[in-house]
Each structure stands twice: as C-alpha cells, then as structure tokens.
Structure 1
C-alpha cells in the first residue's frame, strides 16, 4: 500500500497548487490549512471516537478552504488523497460510506449554484476516483491477508522443522541405545569372561614367563573392557540439548544450593533448537542471577520464565521478591552476563517493581554451535 509520506507529498503538492489557484489568500485560508494539517497529523495517535470525528472534519475543512474553486479538479484530488489515507483504517463497507460522503460533499457547491452539468461531470469523476480508492483498499486487504498467511506458513514450517529435528534426535538416540545394549550384552560379557579365565590361568601356571604373559594379556583385556564400558556409557548418555539441558543443570544447582525454583515454560519454547553457545549463555545468566539472589536477598525462592517471541527470539527471566528497593551496581557478574548476551546479539534488562527483582535476557534464535561445553 502507498506509504504515509508518499501520500503526504501528493497531498502537499495538490494543496499548494490549490492555494496558487485561489484569487486571494486570506487569513481564513491559512487558518483552515493549519487546522487541516494539525488534525491530519494527530489522526493516527488519537482515540477511535475522536479519529472518527476527524475523518468527517477533514473534507469539510478542504471544501471550506477552497470553496471558491470547488469545481477545480485539484480539490477533488486533495479529497481523494485524504480518502486513501482514511480508508486504510476502515473496513470495505465503512470505506464505501466514507467515499459516498466525500462525493456528496464535493457536489454541494455546484448543486447550490445550479450548475448541474458541472455537478454531473464532477459526480462521474468522483465515482471513478472512488473506484480507484476502493481498489487500492482491496489490494491492501489482500496483501495483509497474504502476509498473515505467509507468517502462519512460516511459523508452521519452523514448528515442523523442529519436530523433524527432534524426531531425528530421538531416532538416533534409540539407535545408539540399541548399539550400546548389544555391545554390553555381547562384547562386554565376553571380555569379562576372558579376564576371569586369564586370571585363573595365571594362578594355575608355574612358569614365570608364561605367568607374565598371562598378566599382560589380562591387563590388555581389562583395558579393552574399560574402553568398551566407556563407549557403552557414551552411547547410552542422553543427548539432551537446548533448554532441557539448561533446566537439568538448574535443577542440579537447585538441589546443591537448597533453593526452590518454579519454572514457567510457554508453548513452543522447549522445541526451539538452541545452539550450544546459546544454552551456555542462558545457564550462566541464570546461575549468576540465582547466586546474586542467595548473596543479597532474604529469600531462597525464585521464578524462572522461558518464552518464545514471534518465533524469532527466546526470552528468559529470573525473578524473586525483595524487602526493599536495592541500588543497582553492575559488578563483574552482571557485566559478564551482559557481555555474554551481547555476543549472541542479545540484551539484558534489570528491573524492580512491586518488591520483585527481575533479570531478563533476550536473544535471537540461531543454530550455529559455540565452542564451549555446556556443564
């Protein structure tokens, strides 16, 4: 749709042309012009009721300012530039009524002077301009609807993509677990039996060289068994990532520090695939916030809130009650937290309201992994 400033340029050009066509520019024209532009600029920020009154007033101000040249086509163009700006904010039905109102208003001077041929030609021109205005409005509605459909499709695509990624992760983990069970049940048991048999053979033999060889074989078998067990343990380990890994670490911190934490997870946030670096930033920020709470607050209870904003930003907050408003001094911990968030294009805000101290972090979602390990 045509932008506000483009319409304003057209409006100003037509208005200046109309002023030039006046036989004389008196104080009333200047006053009406000033009133028109004042209302025109105030229109977007006023309440609906006041705005409706402005919609009605603007054409009246135009016709009053240029009543002596009301039949001049430039006045009609001024009216319909205003109509385009107003109908953007109205429904199709309301737009049609408003255009009919403008058309009738523009015909009043000609009808009062008895120039019916002029009224007829002006009526046809106004109808033509009304059709153009309604066409632009319909195009705007269609564009907005298509944009909403695109946003919905994009959101659904991201959701399905997250589900596919999660499904692949689960399938991969199930396969790893199955391989781990097979190794444990076959190779592990056989290596254990081999170690025991080598130990028995070592005790039975009387030859020192043979005993040394059996000892070496047993040590080799034991090392192989330990490596197999380590591989099985790695395969069985859960590939928990993203917020799930963060929550597990925070739960561990909660148990070790003897604090109480309430989690609030809004829809969709757990499915968001975070990079390892992002997960680290969230955990370190929460850890620092809880540490500050335990150092400087009387409470040992906190609320942690995670939510997804417009499918593009992850926001987390840590809040806890305080007895009185505290003076904010950003030390090393908070400064480090802010720097970590800025490294992933995020931001940190700290607020105090109604005796609640709140630390909020927000960053855009990305998929590139950082180099630091989470844990």
Structure 2
C-alpha cells in the first residue's frame, strides 16, 4: 500500500511538472496572441479557447492536489515531525492504525502533532514525549504527552491551542488538553461516523 502511495505521489508530480507547465505556456501564448490580434472574430475564438484552457488548468490543479493529498502516509510524516527533537527528548511512538484512514484525519493529526511538538520544544522542561495513534472500530485517537512541569492553568488562545481545537472541530472531533506537574497532555478523538457523513 505504501508503494501505491509513492506511485500516486510520483504521478501527481509528473502531471504538475509536465502537463501543468504546457498548459501554462499555452495560456501565456494565447494571451500574447490576443494582444496583437485585430480580427474580432478570431478574438472571440481566442477568448473561448483561453477560457477552456484556464478551466483545464483549474481541473488539473484540483486533481493533482487531491492525488497528492491522498498519497500522504501518516507514519513517515509523524517521523519527520519527531526527528528534529530526538537530540533533546526521548520520543516514543505507538502506532496502531490503517494507512487507509481518511486524508482529513491524517492532516488533522499531523497538524496537531506539529503544534504540540513545537510547543514542547519551546516551553517544556521535560525530557520525554509519548505519542499514541490508534484506530478503533468507531473512531481514531491521538494522544501526545510530555513529562515536563507546567502551570495547571494555560492560555487557551495561546501556544497554538486554539488552532488544535479548530482542527478537531472541523472533523466533529473532541480534544482534551490538560497540564500540571506531571506534564502536558493532548487527547484527540475523531468519530468515523462523522467522516462518512462528510464524504456522502
């Protein structure tokens, strides 16, 4: 399955680099032609063709974007987020999920993990981070915790916490953020039923 994801990503890049480039070149050439053209009849045809090419370009961009997004593999993306922190923190990851999970969940989890690890690097006085990603029959769960000490009261609008809440809310998920002498803990759950309703 990971090999399939890589191939989809390669195809997306090739379409973007080759077809996208040729369409862009054609649109520019038509624009230059319309400037020097004096024939109204030909001008209308040029405008129609330009509209068609622009529509094709929009369609190609949308398809490439979707193809690329679908090819994102969560585990390697999480490993990329973790790598810069390994010199300072002992990071453990517990993965138990299918890579076939919705791309919306993947991007939500990656975004929350990035925010959490950024906050930990800036503010935590701890030395370990534990990440758990699990798939259950009815929902997906993400847990991120460090062992640093922090105030029990935190600024809900600071440190990217509001952004995390927005990501969770966009998928009708629930996020619980706690802090104290035992560390900072983020627990996020996303029901699968809500994802099915969003796609239908």
Question: CA offsets per residue over residues 124-165 of structure 1, 9 Å max, x none?
Answer: xxxxxxxxxxxxxxxxxxxxxxxxxxxxxxxxxxxxxxxxxx
Match of 1:252 in 2: 80
Alignment check: 8 A CA contact 1:305 1:318 kept: yes
Match of 2:91 in 1: 261
Greater percentage in strand: 2
Match of 2:144 in 1: 318
Please point out which of 154, 160, 165 is paired with 1:328: 154
Query: Would you say 1:350 and 2:164 are equivalent positions?
Result: no
TM-score (norm 2): 0.56
Aligned residue runs from structure 1 range 115-194, under 5 A:
166=1
Where in structure 2 are there 5+ consecutive unaligned residues? 12-67
Match of 2:24 in 1: none
Q: Which has the higher contact order (CA 8 A, sep 6+)?
A: 2
Alignment check: 8 A CA contact 1:265 1:305 kept: yes
- Give the deviation of 1:307 after TM superposition: 1.8
Distance 1:272 1:298, change over 3 A: same
Alignment check: 8 A CA contact 2:152 2:180 kept: no
Aligned residue runs from structure 1 range 351-370, under 5 A:
351-352=178-179, 355-365=182-192, 366=195
SS of corresponding position for 1:307: strand
TM-score (norm 1): 0.32
Instruction: Supply the distance in 2 between the matched residues of 1:328 and 1:173 (Cα, whole angstroms).
Output: 39
- Give the deviation of 1:325 after TM superposition: 4.0
SS of corresponding position for 1:248: helix
Distance 1:329 1:173, change over 3 A: closer
Q: Which runs of 4+ in 1 moved over 4 A?
A: 367-370
Alignment check: 8 A CA contact 2:156 2:162 kept: yes
Alignment check: 8 A CA contact 1:261 1:301 kept: yes
Distance 1:359 1:173, change over 3 A: closer
Match of 2:28 in 1: none
- Give the deviation of 1:248 after TM superposition: 1.6
Match of 1:302 in 2: 129
- Give the deviation of 1:249 after TM superposition: 2.1
Question: CA offsets per residue over residues 228-270 of structure 1, 9 Å max, x none?
Answer: xxxxxxxxx9x754xxx2332232222234444210124xx2x
Where in structure 1 are there 5+ consecutive unaligned residues? 1-165, 181-236, 371-375
Q: Decide which structure has the larger Cα Rg and report it.
A: 1
Q: What count of residue pairs does the alignment treat as equivalent?
A: 135
Question: CA offsets per residue over residues 291-348 of structure 1, 9 Å max, x none?
Answer: 1111111124310011223x01101010001235442111241111101110111011
Please point out which of 151, 164, 167 is paired with 1:340: 167
- Give the deviation of 1:368 after TM superposition: 8.5
Question: CA offsets per residue over residues 38-86 of structure 1, 9 Å max, x none?
Answer: xxxxxxxxxxxxxxxxxxxxxxxxxxxxxxxxxxxxxxxxxxxxxxxxx
RMSD of aligned C-alpha atoms?
A: 3.3
SS of corresponding position for 2:101: coil
Instruction: Supply the distance in 1 between the matched residues of 2:119 and 2:131 (Cα, whole angstroms).
Output: 14
